[in-house]
Amino acid sequence: MSVMYIRGGRPLEGELAVHGAKNSVLPILAACLLAKGPVTLNNCPRLTDVAAALGILRRLGCRVEQEGHTIVVDPTGASGCSISEEQMRSMRSSIIFLGPLLARAGEAHLSYPGGCELGPRPIDLHLSALRAMGCEVREEQGIHCLGRPKGGEVQLSIPSVGATENAMLCAVGASGPTTITNAAREPEIGDLQSFLNSLGAGVRGAGSSTITVEGGRCLSGGEYTVMGDRIVAATLLSAAASAGGTVRLRGVDWRHLATVLSVFHQAGCRVESKLEYVELFRDGSVPLRGAPTVRTAPYPGFPTDAQAPVMAALAASQGCTLFVETIFDSRYRHVPELIRMGADITTEGRVALVRGVERLHGARVEATDLRGGGALAAAALGAEGTTVLSGLNHIDRGYEGLEEMLRLLGADVERREA
Ligand code: UD1
């Protein structure tokens, strides 16, 4: 087991390009099943979740090559229509393969993706979307779907990101048109639309609540560059807010981070948002202020994935900040760990009250979920003394070389075998 040693108290200084977005590349890899030729994807982060997605594609019969940050998927020989239980468990978002698999093979057999460290993660909306497109869905010791999608009217009761993407992917392979209403508006859905259209699909409306898909078009192979990861950016900005200093990030669109930047601005950081970069400056000798209530919400609201890192930065501040988590049930698992570092936080259900303390101190802490792990690293950089962070398997699901990124910004961080 490896652990990260983080010695806090050094301001961060520097510039880096944020790697490709996990939440973009996963649905895009699943979408490759719809292509009729090889697809080259650039800016793919090297993450364990990406490796899990490549494993699924290989098992389905795709030829997959990975070199650096480029992945080539050739789906020409793919003939499989089932995903093993082990593979479904290896990554929560493996359910995203259901729509494209069904569109390609007219048949799909999967087990449930299982529980999740964020609380129950139902898939009812994914399944009802497929039913609305004319597929037969049976739930008997797993999920069994039959029939080629015809298209139809998909009405989502919640703007679920995964269900929106699954519906889009199934609809692209459908024989007729589909309209998705109350669609999620996250930027990664826009990236998926751009990718699909670059292969010849007819998808419109991503970024709004109504997405239309023509269906019936043949998708070619092609080449595409995945967008930068706004949550990795939010984590690095949280680290800078926690440790002090100036961090400039390239490769992300600041508009996708507007709600996060606004919290840091109100907490006393200076934020510069340009077309080419976003920069955060915090004078380490001046404490952060508490911020107005941070309420997570579907995009364009404050991202649930940035809640933990931002909370970590505000744990050491002058004043209080109230957090309200509206998306997932169990998204405060980083709180007991922050408390071990000296934070004063109380939670009740979906609400957390952070009473800022003067400074956190180093401790032995464990990441129990991906973004909680990023949060603990951010907290440790502003803390006094050394933090030993375990549970790196969670961090490696979504941050490529977190310790290297932080070292590039001048942090004193190393990964060692425990
Ligand atoms: C995606 C992101 C994840 C992010 C989340 C919310 C990926 C790979 N993951 O997850 O990082 O935290 O969006 O921004 O993109 N729900 C149902 N029934 C369903 C599906 C979802 O009730 O069939 C509920 C969920 O329990 C949750 C809410 O809808 O309360 C939003 O979840 P959803 O948007 O689907 O999240 P994911 O796509 O799983």
> Catalytic annotation on 116?
yes
C-alpha span between 46 and 40 (Å, rounded): 15
Q: What is the pLDDT of residues 297-324, one digit of tens each?
A: 999 999 999 999 999 999 999 999 999 9
Q: In the prediction, which pLDDT does 207 show?
A: 98
Cα 269 to middle of ligand 1, angstroms: 30
Ligand 1 atom 31: residue of nearest CA: 160
C-alpha span between 320 and 35 (Å, rounded): 51
DSSP state of 221: -
Does 300 sit behind a cis peptide bond, omega within 30 degrees of 0 on the bond before it?
yes
Non-local CB neighbours of 140 within 8 Å, separated by 6+ positions: none
Binning pLDDT at 50, 70 and 90, where does residue 65 land? very high
Binning pLDDT at 50, 70 and 90, where does residue 184 land? very high
Would you say residue 414 has pLDDT above 90? yes
Strands (E), 176-283: 178-181, 203-204, 210-213, 222-225, 245-250, 270-273, 277-282
Structure tokens at 103: 């569109």
Would you say residue 243 has pLDDT above 70? yes
Q: What is the mean pLDDT of the chain?
A: 96
3 state SS of 134:
coil
Element (H, E) at 59: helix 48-59
Query: Which string of DSSP letters, residue by residue, matches 147-200?
Result: S-----EEE-SS--HHHHHHHHHHHHTSSS-EEEES----HHHHHHHHHHHHTT
Strand partners of residue 361: 384
In 10 A of CB 286, how many CB atoms? 11
Q: Taken in order 305, 310, 315, 319, is the CA torsion positive or negative?
A: negative
Q: Quick one: average pLDDT of 390-399?
A: 96
Ligand 1 contacts (CB < 6 A) are 23, 26, 93, 121-126, 158, 160-163, 184, 304-305, 327-328
Q: In the prediction, which pLDDT does 125 show?
A: 96
Cα 138 to middle of ligand 1, angstroms: 22
Does residue 120 contact residue 327 with C-beta atoms inside 8 Å? no
Phi/psi of residue 36, each to 5°?
Answer: -100, -5
Does residue 100 contact residue 76 with C-beta atoms inside 8 Å? no
- Looking from the CA of residue 305, the nearest atom of ligand 1 is 12
Angle, helices 161-172 vs 98-105, to 10°: value is 10
C-alpha span between 392 and 399 (Å, rounded): 10
Q: What is the pLDDT of residues 84-137, one digit of tens each?
A: 988 998 888 899 999 999 999 999 999 888 655 666 678 999 999 999 999 999
Q: In the prediction, which pLDDT does 112 show?
A: 86
Which is the catalytic residue, given 32, 44, 116, 170?
A: 116
Cα 283 to middle of ligand 1, angstroms: 36
Q: What is the pLDDT of residues 13-26, one digit of tens each?
A: 999 999 999 999 99
Q: In the prediction, which pLDDT does 399 show?
A: 98
Nearest one of 170, 164, 179 to 147, comparing CA atoms: 170
Q: In the prediction, which pLDDT does 118 show?
A: 66
